[in-house]
């Protein structure tokens, strides 16, 4: 039951171009009739029973449905304007309280009319009451539903009533033909598709409600199995398709690699060795690698990428490294050039801010193949960039790029060949989630930090204690250390954010006259940015005031103090990235999270998580828990999740069954494969493949 919608006459606002219903459905992933049919309830409400008001009162707290006649209806002001309706049955009376209501509702609620209301009954100051119950006007003796009422995942502007109607309509149109034969079903012990779907949309009142809620009912099991089967089929097909694509094998781990490793001032960690071996093996294949390299901030992904690039170059091909910001691209360029130039490797550098001449030069070096290693920002994906013989694409901080951007770069290979692709990310996606969202992706994990790092100590500090924080920065600087001071994120206004950064800079410069304070933000020209960064790297600047431009990748090992203002405004992964700018050298590092109280529930949880752990995987898990997978990955990253009903962890036994059947069907029964994928993925499959 839903709260009555306000009547049309009252909402006569000027029309603005609203999304059509079709667009709203599409946002929920509902396009074809089968999409509608497979839009299954997330829970159910039991409206099959009416409880007397006295019994409802005794139950207290839980959801109940009551029915009674209106004895009073008032608009009251205490303190907010509200509609207060008293209803009574033979046993007691209950107050219904509405804080948002329309004039039409007041008229509906005439004394003597009969209302069926559903909500939590509480004992308020004026007796038993329901705040904002779902309700409808009924006649005496109006029939009760015989099935549980489904509640669907809904979106803005799509009510339950509209959804239910659309789904019912679609159910009368689709082809119910089971994708699995009766023989298969009985062998697997599964229920039929049509019966399962219909039961889930309209469960009979006597069904085991617990098993419905828990997704353990046989009808759910069938849905989960089907979904997992579609996932396994699509995964296996994507793998096969990738193996059928040609790529240049990059087999040479030769002199360059050896010389590179010799020149490094440190040895690789075991984790770096392990992932390097995985990547080296992939690069030797003549089909394209598609590998995600995950490793916490500071775990040393760059060197692994450099070694992969060296292998490509040793094998006679070009490698490209794309980074999401100019600062990061420049830093990579310098670092890699410093490592690789002594080996005689020529690199080129391309960003949007190059002067025309410089750009033309870079483009020609790339096109002729003279530049063996190319580093840059998304400027690299432009049409004008053509490679002579691109063998390897590395995308740093890959979650910062859209699927389309990554694809474009991958399409710049030698004709007919797809370059190998290595994506790097410090935002760890729990493995199960990665499998759920990416159809075909190998994952390597660096799960160890280089030795000699002292753990970062993180503190939460009320911003009223700013003076103490400034004193601390001062002391650290006198001690030869350096600090970042990150300005608050102001999402609504870039201008305001800039203003705050400038203000903070002036404030700190004044408070710390014997230190050099620098300022870096997104509006600076790249050359100016670089000037400040260089001064910071050389410790000519001790305190660097920064906006979130330094969020990813920046590596200045001598910096050991990080102050983040208004830390409560940042997301967990952003905080983790920012904090990762310190703790890169041997000095003990400190991160101070300045916050403005009082803290809201999730903000507090975020900051406490930061205080408790520096483990990126742990933080990612917490982030996932606080935000849910859709937001966690971001829509543009994930497309639509392939798994809506099954859970890779708790439904492992179903995964195994589905995997076995997928292999069998791919070998012996392609029509079933087609039918099943079509039903469950429709056009979504293409998207999941990139």
**Which residues sit at the interface with Mg ion, rule CB under 5 A?**
553
Nearer to Mg ion, 44 or 484 (CB): 484
**Distance of closest approach, residue 406 Cβ to ligand ADP, in angstroms:** 18
Helix (H) and strand (E) counts for the chain?
27, 22
CB of 624 to ligand ADP, least distance (A): 21
Q: Closest separation between CB of residue 397 and ligand ADP, Å?
A: 9
Q: Which of 108, 196, 231, 299 binds ligand ADP (CB under 6 A)?
A: 299
Round to whole Å and give the CA distance between 616 and 372: 33
| 574, 439 Cβ separation under 8 angstroms | no
Helix H or strand E encompassing 258: helix 255-263
Instruction: Give 556 or 563: the residue with its C-beta nearer to ligand ADP.
Output: 556
74 DSSP β-pair partners: 84
454 with 587: CB under 8 angstroms? yes
* Segment 545 to 564, residues that bind ligand ADP, using CB under 6 A: 555, 557
Distance CA 211, CA 196 (A): 13
Q: Which long-range contacts (CB under 8 A, 24 or more apart) does 595-602 make?
A: 595/460, 595/461, 595/462, 595/463, 595/566, 595/567, 595/568, 596/462, 596/463, 596/566, 596/568, 597/462, 599/568, 600/568, 602/626
DSSP class of 257? H
332 near ligand ADP, rule: CB under 6 A: no
Least CB distance from residue 497 to Mg ion, whole Å?
Answer: 24
C-alpha neighbours within 13 Å on the C-beta side of residue 299: 28
- Which 14-43 residues touch ligand ADP, going by CB under 6 A? none
> Strand pairing partners for 593?
460, 564
Q: Which two tokens stand for residue 389?
A: 């013989």
Asked if 620 interacts with ligand ADP (CB under 6 A), we say no
- Taking the least distance from each CB to Mg ion, the nearer of 242 and 301 is 301
Could you tell me the smallest distance in angstroms from the CB atom of residue 396 to Mg ion? 6
Q: What are phi and psi of 470, to 5 degrees?
A: -60, -40
Binding site partner of 476, from ligand ADP, Mg ion, none, Cβ cut-off 5-8 A by kind: none
Structure tokens given for 604: 């507090």
**Residue 616 interacting with ligand ADP (CB under 6 A):** no
Judged by beta carbon distances under 5 to 8 A according to partner kind, the member of Mg ion, ligand ADP, none in contact with residue 584 is: ligand ADP
Is there a contact between 321 and 288 (Cβ–Cβ < 8 Å)? no
Q: 298 touches which of Mg ion, ligand ADP, none (CB within 5 to 8 A by kind)?
A: ligand ADP
Residue 45 or 555 with smaller CB distance to Mg ion: 555
Residues in the chain: 690
Interatomic CA distance for residues 322 and 375, integer angstroms: 6
Q: Taking contact as CB under 6 A, which single stretch among the options 8-16, 265-273, 460-468, 504-512 is the one that binds ligand ADP? A: 265-273
- Cβ proximity to Mg ion, 553 vs 583, nearer residue: 553
Instruction: Name the minimum Å distance from CB 342 to ligand ADP.
Output: 16
- Can you tell me which residue has the tokens 């999740």? 641
164 lines the binding site for ligand ADP (CB under 6 A)? no
Site stretch for ligand ADP (CB under 6 A), options 261-269, 496-504, 518-526, 658-666: 261-269
**Touching ligand ADP, residues 400-429 (CB under 6 A):** 426
Nearer to ligand ADP, 290 or 577 (CB): 577
Q: Of the candidates 201, 215, 291, 301, which one interacts with ligand ADP according to CB under 6 A?
A: 301
Residue in the structure block whose two tokens are 């992939």 = 282
The residue at minimum Cβ distance from ligand ADP is: 300
Of 300, 324, 376, 391, the residue at the interface with ligand ADP (CB under 6 A) is: 300
How far from chain centre, in Å, is Cα 304? 25
Instruction: Based on the shown chain and the rule CB under 6 A, indicate whether residue 473 belongs to the binding site for ligand ADP.
Output: no
Q: How many residues bind ligand ADP (CB under 6 A)?
A: 17
Could you tell me where the beta strands, DSSP code E, fall in 173-299?
A: 290-295
Q: What is the dihedral of CA 47, 48, 52, 53, to 10 degrees?
A: 0
303 binds ligand ADP (CB under 6 A): yes
* Segment interacting with ligand ADP (CB under 6 A) among 267-275, 488-496, 562-570, 590-598: 267-275
Site string for ligand ADP, 573-612 (x = CB under 6 A): -----------x----------------------------
Choosing from 41, 134, 150, 295, the residue that interacts with ligand ADP (CB under 6 A) is 295
- Hey, what's the torsion of the CAs at 536, 539, 544, 546, to 10 degrees? 20
CA angle, residues 276, 277, 278, in degrees to nearest 5? 90
Cβ 76 vs Cβ 210: under 8 Å: no
**Sheet hosting strand 482-486, strand order edge to edge:** 457-462, 590-595, 559-564, 482-486, 543-546, 517-520
Of the candidates 314, 308, 226, 234, the one whose C-alpha atom is nearest the C-alpha of residue 268 is 308
229: CB partners within 8 A, 6+ apart = 658, 661, 662, 676, 680
Which does residue 299 bind out of ligand ADP, Mg ion, none, counting CB within 5 to 8 angstroms by kind? Answer: ligand ADP
Smallest distance, Å, CB 435 to Mg ion? 24
By the 8 A CB rule, do 25 and 166 touch? Answer: yes
Identify whether 455 is preceded by a cis peptide bond (ω within 30 of 0).
Answer: no
CB of 562 to Mg ion, least distance (A): 17
List 266, 338, 411, 664, residue binding ligand ADP (CB under 6 A): 266
Instruction: Restricting to residues 422-461, name those near ligand ADP by CB under 6 A.
Output: 426, 450
Tokens of 344: 């005689």
Closest residue by Cα to residue 144 from 63, 205, 192, 198: 205
> Min. distance of Cβ 258 from ligand ADP in angstroms?
17
User: Would you tell me how many other CB atoms lie within 10 Å of the CB of residue 626?
Assistant: 16
Nearer to ligand ADP, 83 or 327 (CB): 327
**Residue 300 binds what, of ligand ADP, Mg ion, none (CB under 5 to 8 Å, by partner type)?**
ligand ADP
269 binds ligand ADP (CB under 6 A): yes
Q: Which does 272 bind (CB under 5 to 8 A by kind): Mg ion, ligand ADP, none?
A: ligand ADP
Of the pair 518, 553, the CB lying nearest Mg ion is at: 553
Smallest distance, Mg ion to C-beta of residue 234, A: 31
- Least separation in angstroms between residue 678's CB and Mg ion is 41
Residue among 261, 270, 585 at smallest CA distance from 448: 270
Location of structure tokens 């293409």: 686
d(CA 174, CA 34): 6
377 interacts with, out of ligand ADP, Mg ion, none, CB within 5 to 8 A per kind: none
Kindly state the smallest distance separating residue 264's Cβ from ligand ADP, in Å: 8
Residue 395 beta carbon to ligand ADP: minimum distance, rounded to whole angstroms: 13
- Tell me if 272 contacts ligand ADP by CB under 6 A: yes
Does position 351 interact with ligand ADP (CB under 6 A)? The reply is no
Within 8 A by CB and 6+ apart from 658, the residues are: 225, 228, 229, 231, 232
Considering only the stretches 264-272, 527-535, 607-615, 652-660, report the one whose residues sit in contact with ligand ADP under the rule CB under 6 A: 264-272
Q: Which residues bind ligand ADP (CB under 6 A)?
A: 266, 268-269, 272, 295, 297-303, 426, 450, 555, 557, 584
């Amino acid at each position: 039951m839903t709260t009555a919608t306000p009547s049309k006459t009252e909402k006569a606002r000027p029309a603005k171009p609203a999304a059509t219903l079709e667009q709203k459905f599409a946002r929920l992933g509902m396009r074809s009739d089968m999409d509608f049919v497979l839009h299954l309830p997330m829970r159910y409400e039991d409206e099959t029973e009416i409880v007397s008001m006295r019994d409802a009162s005794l139950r207290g707290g839980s959801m109940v449905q009551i029915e009674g006649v209106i004895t009073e209806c008032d608009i009251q002001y205490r303190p907010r304007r509200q509609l207060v309706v008293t209803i009574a049955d033979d046993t007691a009376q209950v107050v219904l309280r509405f804080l948002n209501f329309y004039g039409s509702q007041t008229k509906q609620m005439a004394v003597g009319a009969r209302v069926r209301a559903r909500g939590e009954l509480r004992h308020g100051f004026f007796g038993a009451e329901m705040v904002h119950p779902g309700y409808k006007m009924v006649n005496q003796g109006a029939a009760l539903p015989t099935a549980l009422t489904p509640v669907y995942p809904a979106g803005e502007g799509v009510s339950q009533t509209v959804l239910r109607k659309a789904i019912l309509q679609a159910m009368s149109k689709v082809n119910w033909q089971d994708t699995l034969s009766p023989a298969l079903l009985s062998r697997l012990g599964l229920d039929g598709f049509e019966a399962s779907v219909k039961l889930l949309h309209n469960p009979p009142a006597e069904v085991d409600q617990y098993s419905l809620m828990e997704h353990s009912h046989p009808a759910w099991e069938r849905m989960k199995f089907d979904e997992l089967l579609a996932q396994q089929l699509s995964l296996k097909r994507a793998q096969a398709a990738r193996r059928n694509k040609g790529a240049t094998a990059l087999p040479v781990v030769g002199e360059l690699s050896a010389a590179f490793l010799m020149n490094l001032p440190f040895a690789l960690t075991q984790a770096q060795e392990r992932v390097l071996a995985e990547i080296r093996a992939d690069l030797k294949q003549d089909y394209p690698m598609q590998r995600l390299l995950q490793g916490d901030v500071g775990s040393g992904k760059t060197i692994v990428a450099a070694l992969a690039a060296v292998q490509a170059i040793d094998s006679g091909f070009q490698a490209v490294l794309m980074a999401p910001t100019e600062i990061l691209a420049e830093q990579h360029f310098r670092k890699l050039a410093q490592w690789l130039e002594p080996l005689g490797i020529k690199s080129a550098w391309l960003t949007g801010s190059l002067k025309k001449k410089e750009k033309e030069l870079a483009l020609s070096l790339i096109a002729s193949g003279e530049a063996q290693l190319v580093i840059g920002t998304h400027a690299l994906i432009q049409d004008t960039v053509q490679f002579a013989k691109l063998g390897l694409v590395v995308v740093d901080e890959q979650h910062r790029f859209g699927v389309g951007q990554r694809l474009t770069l991958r399409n710049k290979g030698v004709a007919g060949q797809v370059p190998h692709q290595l994506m790097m990310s410090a935002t760890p996606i729990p493995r199960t989630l990665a499998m759920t969202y990416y159809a075909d992706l190998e994952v390597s994990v660096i799960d160890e930090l280089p030795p000699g790092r002292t753990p970062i100590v993180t503190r939460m500090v009320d911003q009223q204690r700013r003076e103490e924080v400034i004193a601390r920065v001062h002391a650290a600087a006198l001690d030869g250390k350096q600090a970042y001071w990150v300005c608050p994120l102001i999402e609504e206004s870039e201008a305001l954010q800039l203003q705050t950064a400038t203000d903070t800079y002036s404030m700190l410069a004044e408070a710390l006259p014997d230190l050099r304070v620098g300022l870096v933000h997104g509006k600076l020209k790249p050359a100016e940015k670089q000037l400040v960064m260089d001064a910071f790297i050389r410790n000519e600047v001790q305190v660097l005031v920064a906006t979130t431009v330094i969020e990813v990748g920046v590596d200045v090992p001598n910096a050991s103090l990080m102050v983040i203002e208004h830390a409560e405004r940042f997301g967990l992964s952003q905080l983790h990235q920012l904090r990762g700018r310190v703790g890169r050298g041997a000095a003990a590092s400190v991160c101070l999270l300045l916050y403005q109280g009082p803290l809201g529930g999730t903000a507090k949880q975020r900051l406490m998580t930061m205080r408790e752990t520096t483990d990126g995987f742990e933080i990612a898990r917490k982030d996932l828990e606080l935000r849910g997978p859709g937001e966690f990955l971001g829509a543009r990253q994930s497309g639509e999740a392939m798994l809506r009903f099954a859970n890779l962890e708790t439904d492992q036994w179903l995964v195994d069954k589905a995997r076995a059947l997928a292999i069998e069907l791919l070998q012996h029964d392609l029509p079933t494969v087609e039918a099943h994928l079509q039903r469950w993925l429709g056009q979504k499959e293409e998207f999941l493949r990139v």
